[in-house]
Amino acid sequence: MVENDSADICSTGFTVLRTNEKVTPAFLFRYVLSDQFVRPLEELQTGTQYPATSDRIVFDQPIPVPPIAIQVELDQFFSKLEGSVITAKDRLSTIPTLLKKFRQSVLAAACSGQLTADWRENYEPSESASSLLKRIRLDRKLKPPLTFDSEIEVPRDWAATRIGQVCAVATGATPLRTQPAYFGGSIPWITSSAVNDGIVTQANQFITDLAVKETNAKVFPPGTLVVAMYGEGQTRGRVAELGIATATNQALAALLFDGANVDCRSFLKLHFLRNYEEMRTVAAGGVQPNLSLGLIRDSELLLPPLEEQAEIVRRVEALFALADSIESRLAEVNDQVERTTQAILAKAFRGELVV
- What residue segments make up the domains of the chain, in order of their start? 1-65, 127-304
Q: What's the CA gap between 263 and 304, in Å, rounded?
A: 11
Query: CA 212 to CA 207: how far, in whole Å?
Result: 8
Report how far residue 189's alpha carbon sits from residue 251's, in angstroms, rounded to the nearest whole number: 12
CA distance 98 to 104: 10
d(CA 21, CA 4): 17
Going by pLDDT thresholds of 50, 70 and 90, the confidence category of residue 146 is: low
Tell me what the mean pLDDT of segment 230-240 comes to.
84
Query: What pLDDT, on a 0 to 100 scale, did the predictor assign at position 2?
Result: 47
pLDDT at 289: 64
Classify domain 127-304 by CATH number: 3.90.220.20
Q: Please classify residue 237 by burial: count the beta carbons closer than 10 Å to its beta carbon, then call 0-12 exposed, 13-18 middle and 19+ buried.
A: buried
pLDDT number for residue 47: 80
Q: Is the pLDDT of residue 330 over 70?
A: yes
Number of Cβ within 10 Å of residue 308's Cβ equals: 23
CA dihedral over 278, 284, 288, 292, signed as positive or negative: negative
Q: Is the pLDDT of residue 287 over 60?
A: no
Selected residue with higher pLDDT from 347 and 184: 184
> Has residue 22 got a pLDDT over 60?
yes
> In this predicted structure, what is the pLDDT of residue 345?
78
CB atoms closer than 10 angstroms to residue 341? 18
Instruction: Tell me the pLDDT of the chain averaged across its residues.
Output: 88
Q: What is the pLDDT of residues 38-60, one digit of tens each?
A: 888 888 888 877 788 888 888 88
